[in-house]
Structure 1
């Protein structure tokens, strides 16, 4: 039927676009590349997802009724898609509106969204290549045609051969999906304990992020202040240290619970250096030369913002912002500028990188 052919084509195109954009978001290199091109990949992915949901909702009942008279293989294909669609849609919605859900549910949604994608890819490849090259798998007639079930199957008594086939295919697809998921692992645990409370996803806006040696890094505080000062990595321990245990939240939906962070409060640092702010705004710059974000002066000085140099009792990893990153305990992670090397107090508030590129909230409160 023409309508079914059109729906199948549109469904296939949107599904492939969803998988491609989703994989590009998952992989650090491609995500960063799109950031550098100024392409709002998250918005593109969400837009395609909305279109996909619309197509499925429009056609699912009609397709379901049409397949009632089709062989069991067609019905299986329909229900497989329906289950994956439901898992994608629900987990994706929870990630998008993650502020309304508790951390455990949000992290669970991220895991389900990832694993659903990677477990689906092997089946999609087999399905697509089979149609493209007219490959015929040696399925039994009762599966692909309108014939009666064999007595053993009808009585739910699988033969040893059937059980081994089903088990083998299941294990194969799980292995392929797992291999694909961990082929480019962008989830990195700081230590084994972190595996029980979530993973940090490493997001950068440049692929060539700074890899400082301790003696190469410095932090400058300048702009509209009574004086300018620059400190080095070796100066940090001489300032009053503050250790907090907090939950780190990302605006994309994942969180890491009970992270121990040690650093110097911005307020304490400025007090020790004798620096007085003479403006209402401050911009924090990253050593990668691209990323920056802005704050109200009161947000950094009066709301316990930290310059963090240790995470869970260890110095920061290079990809996590070593030697020092900014952290505000009441804001999303995109406000936590990594490799922070300058705090500039300004007359007007700058519009940060993700506010310009992704439409993120300027204040970024949880």
Structure 2
């Protein structure tokens, strides 16, 4: 059986792993650096959380006994840790299974999961430093020992039911804050016909992104096709426009409702420029020189995949993939290659960027 001291140290180590990997996922330059060295950051973060969860679940009975014989200070610290971990685990699970859950639950969970880290971190630092350097904090005697507290304190000490009520109330306030942030685009854009829910987070795998002008950008379609071609943006914009209103999902857990994408269908591009695919797969390359993803020809031609030029009646901005991004309405956002500059048709399908550098599904269906 693991000693409680060892369990405490394991808790600290796993918390450091979770905190550092979470900060790296939150911070674009760090996330990009881990991508470049091909470190599976998302998998590491989830694996650390699962080990932590297993460790806590296996020791719940011992932890309960521990709270019965320890002073309030230690009990408070333990309950604070368990409450925070409960919220992290719950919101993390919601983010992982977000495609099967309502967006009014998933978007607040993303916000809470990140915000809780910054709220909890100061306490974790304080707790670690006072223990590591044996700093004596002038807590009341009754708080750091099992002596009876004064009468005026004892009558106000919350019991188990009070703790459950406070935890439930705190959770409700956190979700309320997440919902307010989620509804913010709606509250500040009453005239927006699309009634967008949620907001986009900008992710890329390099520390910068290409900045094309409309005249500079061209799309190359080559490989196993009847006639390779290079097409300008003006030529593509001259084709019949298609608009799709759908929900946009990111595999990291957030989503945006009722997004209007405008552009041209891939099959219309092929037919209008007399391009006949002779391969069975397609690799889509980003202009950032690093990112790419792969599809079957059927996924792009038969399933309403499109080249997008505008989002919610506005031209794409550079960070969103201007001048053109690929979009498939039934796939996660990582399949939506930004700054698209080449479609290469091949016979054999390759692994995409996130299959080589992570563990994302090759097809990426919701």
Q: Name the residue aligned to 1:227.
A: 227
2:323 matches 1:319:
no
Q: Name the residue aligned to 2:106.
A: 106
Counterparts of 2:55 and 2:361 in 1: how far apart (Å)? 31
1:258 CA displacement:
0.8
Q: Name the residue aligned to 2:276.
A: 276
Provide the aligned C-alpha RMSD in A.
2.6
Q: Name the residue aligned to 1:355.
A: 355
Q: TM-score, normalised by structure 1?
A: 0.86
2:330 matches 1:330:
yes
Counterparts of 2:218 and 2:9 in 1: how far apart (Å)? 55
1:157 CA displacement:
10
Counterparts of 1:154 and 1:46 in 2: how far apart (Å)? 41
Counterparts of 1:56 and 1:288 in 2: how far apart (Å)? 43
Q: TM-score, normalised by structure 2?
A: 0.86
Counterparts of 1:222 and 1:334 in 2: how far apart (Å)? 23
User: For structure 1, which segment, 208-217 or 78-87, has the greater mean C-alpha deviation from structure 2 after superposition?
Assistant: 208-217
* CA gap 1:21/1:247 in 2 versus in 1, 3 angstroms: same
Counterparts of 1:67 and 1:55 in 2: how far apart (Å)? 17
Counterparts of 1:89 and 1:325 in 2: how far apart (Å)? 34
Within 5 Å, give how 1:144-183 maps onto structure 2.
144-156=144-156
**Aligned pair count?**
339
Counterparts of 1:273 and 1:15 in 2: how far apart (Å)? 55
Residue 121 of structure 1: SS of its match in structure 2?
helix
Residue 107 of structure 1: SS of its match in structure 2?
helix
Counterparts of 2:19 and 2:186 in 1: how far apart (Å)? 28
Counterparts of 1:60 and 1:93 in 2: how far apart (Å)? 20
Within 5 Å, give how 1:298-309 maps onto structure 2.
298-309=298-309
2:122 matches 1:126:
no
Structure 2 contact 32–206 (Cα < 8 Å) conserved: yes
1:88 CA displacement:
1.3
**Superposed CA offset, 1:91-137 (max 9, x none):** 22222233332333222322221122221111111111211232333
Q: Name the residue aligned to 1:211.
A: 211
1:192 CA displacement:
5.1
1:348 CA displacement:
1.6
Counterparts of 1:192 and 1:207 in 2: how far apart (Å)? 31
Structure 2 contact 195–258 (Cα < 8 Å) conserved: no
Counterparts of 1:111 and 1:42 in 2: how far apart (Å)? 17
Counterparts of 2:195 and 2:313 in 1: how far apart (Å)? 16
1:83 CA displacement:
0.7
Residue 216 of structure 1: SS of its match in structure 2?
coil
What runs of 5+ residues in structure 1 fail to find an aligned partner?
A: 159-169, 179-188
Structure 1 contact 64–78 (Cα < 8 Å) conserved: no
* CA gap 1:231/1:192 in 2 versus in 1, 3 angstroms: farther
Q: Name the residue aligned to 1:163.
A: none
2:22 matches 1:25:
no
1:155 CA displacement:
3.5
